[in-house]
Structure 1
Amino acid sequence: MRGCIFNHGLISFFHVYRPLELMYKYGNISEGVCKPGFAAAKMTAIYPKFTKLAPMFLDPNYKRFSRIGDYLPPFGVKTQEKIIDILLSATNMYGLGEELDSKSCKTCIIVGNGGILANKSLGQKIDDFDVVVRLNEAPVKGFEKDVGSKTTIRITYPEGAIQKTERYEAESLFVLSAFKSLDFKWLRHMVFNQRLRSTDGFWKSVARHVPREPSDMRILNPYFIQEASFKLIGLPHNNGQMGRGNIPTLGTVAITMALHNCDEVAVAGFGYNMSTPHAPLHYYEKIRMSAIKESWTHNISKEKEFLMKLVKAGVIQDLTGGICGAGC
């Protein structure tokens, strides 16, 4: 079953749910049973205009999303249509796969890379989700007890991708989140297994080979970057171009993607506590929290406000409790 098939369960996306309605709708569903349309219902209660049906990945009909055609990367596909058409023709697969696409209710978890994941023994709980999303080069091997062993999709960009081919999991979808035009050219080299002759234009070293078949590669719908930035977090529009403090982090982009495509959404490994400078920044390395610096492209504080809003409203479940700390 190719393409993205969206199940929005019993929910009408043009109805704003109120707490009492939500209680009646989901109150008698057994604990642990997937609740159709739950995340979107909760989301429309706090963002009434959250009605856009947006597929996870670009497919051959991506031009129907006029808003992504109006913007250059990272907020759209303007000027990149030709190379995208080539890539989509080569990959020829645009969904999660037949089994997941056909599920009537999907639970998804976005696994962040935060040090807060260490020693929580959440591995089995993470693996119980239908869709496990991992970000950039965060390793699985050797950390299974805390982060699980299952990877459904790994979202990244050239500079964030795993560079040692042996570190890739045996099975997962490789998903490009393109932040600049050059990223699509890089993906073309990966899809067609061509030698990357130059890395000019990248801000650090990039992966030179991705051990995946073209049918296991996808392009993340840039609508999620656009929506997270301009509509949900409220970052500067800057005429629709990348500018100071208007790019959401990949984690928040992944959460936005999940809210459109999953019935229940959870996160783990999110949240930086700057009051603990000696705590590990990531679960897989010894770099300390004090190493984090205010990014030119991100607005961490404004993004945290958005994520706290989602947790407080019950839109997403935070398994490690790092988003709110004691604030929810």
Structure 2
Amino acid sequence: MISKCRWKLLAMLAFVLVVMVWYSISREDRYIELFYFPILEKKEPCLQGEAERKVSKLFGNYSQEQPIFLQLKDYFWVKTPSAYELPYGTKGSEDLLLRVLAITSYSIPESIQRLKCRRCVVVGNGHRLRNSLLGEAINKYDVVIRLNNAPVAGYEGDVGSKTTMRLFYPESAHFNPKVEDNPDTLLVLVAFKAMDFHWIESILSDKKRVRKGFWKQPPLIWDVNPKQIRILNPFFMEIAADKLLRLPMQQPHKIKQKPTTGLLAITLALHLCDLVHIAGFGYPDAQNKKESIHYYEQITIKSMAWSGHNVSQEALAIKRMLEIGAVKNLTYF
């Protein structure tokens, strides 16, 4: 009897061991399938023009001649009006934009321009950065692009402290950018609507503040150097929507679908850089409704319901970029 019970116990232990091994292998396969590239001690070779060559498979007739930031000279005499309104063009906003561009800048820092091969990392806001210990590795890239109001202070071990560019829109602007950014960080405005230009003009020119027309109140006092502000070329919003998400430029719905700031930042990086890595992208599984989507705050996937962002479609777009090697992932996706 004792012998029979012992065999049953051994059989149960063997079964548990097999399940554990299978789970471990399946997880490893999942990481390999989803292109998880842990940081290596040695730098990956950087080949000039590599990102542009690979991404041409997705973007087709893709050209790096498009300026990254809008320039004042292009709005004195508009010979070729934009085909689309914001966020995919500047149609109807030219006069307002002219005033904004007169008090901001468009140049790319010389320290970036002179690099023979630009290594860039786009740091997302995802929960996978939590306890990742990627901070030191992130700081070693030539260009570090961050998103919206994602904090650095207090999270340096996981997300680093270097910020070359930060993409934002009024509602996502950090109320105290000097705390979270470096003195030379470029603050890149992503304009989704004409009111975004009104807001930045009122802030930088100290005019009467704009309070209406936003889904969330943006800062009314914003201590920044106007020469650190850049206006992102809507071209990148257009190709992210058209080529990556297959979205129509004209949408009749009240809540129009549009790319997230994260996908937009990856699109920009593929235009600017020769080597592009990403970290902190991806959302929790739909079934995991209590998991936070950000590394720094407790906010769930439910908050995305009325955002106009199709996170499932964006996940497929990022996966395609990973498959062709246009970008590589420092966290699992």
Give the TM-score of the pair, scaled to structure 2. Answer: 0.80
Q: How does 1:200-215 map onto structure 2 within 5 Å?
A: 200-215=212-227
Q: Secondary structure of 1:40's partner?
A: helix
Corresponding residue pairs, total:
289
Cα deviation per residue 1:19-42 (whole Å; 9 max; x = unaligned)? xxxxxxxxxxx9534221111111
2:63 pairs with 51, 57, 60, which one? Answer: 51
Question: Is the counterpart of residue 115 in structure 1 residue 118 in structure 2?
Answer: no
1:258 pairs with 248, 256, 269, which one? Answer: 269
Distance 1:31 1:151, change over 3 A: closer
Q: How does 1:40-79 map onto structure 2 within 5 Å?
A: 40-51=52-63, 53-62=65-74, 69-79=82-92
2:190 pairs with 177, 186, 199, which one? Answer: 177
Q: CA deviation at 1:45?
A: 3.4
Q: CA deviation at 1:70?
A: 1.4
Q: How does 1:109-258 map onto structure 2 within 5 Å?
A: 109-164=121-176, 167-171=179-183, 172-196=185-209, 198-238=210-250, 244-258=255-269
Q: Secondary structure of 1:69's partner?
A: coil
Q: How does 1:92-111 map onto structure 2 within 5 Å?
A: 93-111=105-123
Check whether the contact 1:122–1:145 (CA below 8 A) recurs between aligned residues: yes
Aligned partner of 1:201: which letter?
A: G
Counterpart Cα distance in 1 of 2:120 and 2:253: 29
Question: Is the counterpart of residue 269 in structure 1 residue 280 in structure 2?
Answer: yes
Question: Is the counterpart of residue 83 in structure 1 residue 96 in structure 2?
Answer: yes
Check whether the contact 1:245–1:295 (CA below 8 A) recurs between aligned residues: no
Higher Rg: 2
5+ residue gaps, structure 1: 1-29, 323-328
Q: Which has the higher helix share?
A: 2
Aligned partner of 2:175: which letter?
A: Q
Deviates more, 1:96-105 or 1:304-313: 96-105
1:295 pairs with 292, 306, 313, which one? Answer: 306
In structure 2, the residue matched to 1:304 is 315
Counterpart Cα distance in 1 of 2:295 and 2:231: 27
Distance 1:69 1:218, change over 3 A: same
Q: CA deviation at 1:82?
A: 1.7
Deviates more, 1:199-208 or 1:114-123: 199-208
Give the TM-score of the pair, scaled to structure 1. Answer: 0.81
Distance 1:62 1:266, change over 3 A: farther
Check whether the contact 2:162–2:182 (CA below 8 A) recurs between aligned residues: no
2:324 pairs with 304, 308, 313, which one? Answer: 313
Deviates more, 1:256-265 or 1:55-64: 55-64
Counterpart Cα distance in 2 of 1:257 and 1:49: 16
5+ residue gaps, structure 2: 1-41
Check whether the contact 2:148–2:166 (CA below 8 A) recurs between aligned residues: yes
Q: Secondary structure of 2:121's partner?
A: strand
Q: Secondary structure of 2:103's partner?
A: helix
Q: In percent, how many aligned pairs have the same letter?
A: 36
Aligned partner of 2:106: which letter?
A: Y
Q: CA deviation at 1:76?
A: 0.7
Q: CA deviation at 1:55?
A: 2.0
Question: Is the counterpart of residue 38 in structure 1 residue 67 in structure 2?
Answer: no
Counterpart Cα distance in 1 of 2:325 and 2:177: 38
Deviates more, 1:204-213 or 1:172-181: 204-213
Check whether the contact 1:126–1:147 (CA below 8 A) recurs between aligned residues: yes
Check whether the contact 1:136–1:160 (CA below 8 A) recurs between aligned residues: yes
Check whether the contact 1:140–1:148 (CA below 8 A) recurs between aligned residues: yes
Q: CA RMSD in A?
A: 2.4
Q: Secondary structure of 2:67's partner?
A: coil
Aligned partner of 2:143: which letter?
A: V
Counterpart Cα distance in 1 of 2:246 and 2:79: 21
The one of the two structures with greater contact order (alpha-carbon pairs below 8 A, sep at least 6) is 2
Check whether the contact 1:236–1:245 (CA below 8 A) recurs between aligned residues: no
Question: Is the counterpart of residue 279 in structure 1 residue 291 in structure 2?
Answer: yes
